[in-house]
């Protein structure tokens, strides 16, 4: 599913115009990203939870040369699906 498909589904299921539906989607995902950037979890009951996790710096290898290298510390966004979503996917 692409963004246009999501917009179309919202337009068909509501009285919003396509431009307002797209703005709504942009706002929702923007707010989720902003919350994760601040280190806050975003929990959507029945869907799942977005959270950020710190990854420590670690040693690795360059896959081309095999040379040892240091991989920098970073923060990752993690999505954990809710039980309802897991059940829907596995049925």
Residues 69, 33 share a domain: no
Q: Are 51 and 80 in contact (CB under 8 A)?
A: yes
> Based on the domain organization, do 35 and 54 belong to the same domain?
no
The CATH number covering residue 46 comes to 4.10.520.10
| Parent domain of 4 | 1-40
Query: Number of folded domains in the chain?
Result: 2
CA distance 43 to 66: 41
pLDDT in tens, 31-71: 999 999 999 999 999 999 999 999 999 999 999 999 999 99
Average pLDDT taken over every residue of the chain: 94
Q: Within this chain, do residues 20 and 64 fall inside the same structural domain, yes or no?
A: no
CA distances from residue 72 to 30, 55, 56, 61, 79 in whole angstroms, order as listed: 26, 9, 7, 13, 22
């Amino acid at each position: 599913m692409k963004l246009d498909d999501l917009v179309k589904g919202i337009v068909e299921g509501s009285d919003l115009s396509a431009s307002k539906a797209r703005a709504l989607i942009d706002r929702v995902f923007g707010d989720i990203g902003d919350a994760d950037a601040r280190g806050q979890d975003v929990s959507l009951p029945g869907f799942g939870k977005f959270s950020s996790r710190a990854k420590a710096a670690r040693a690795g290898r360059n896959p081309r040369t095999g040379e040892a290298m240091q991989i920098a510390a970073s923060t990752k966004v993690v999505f954990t699906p809710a039980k309802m979503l897991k059940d829907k996917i596995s049925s």
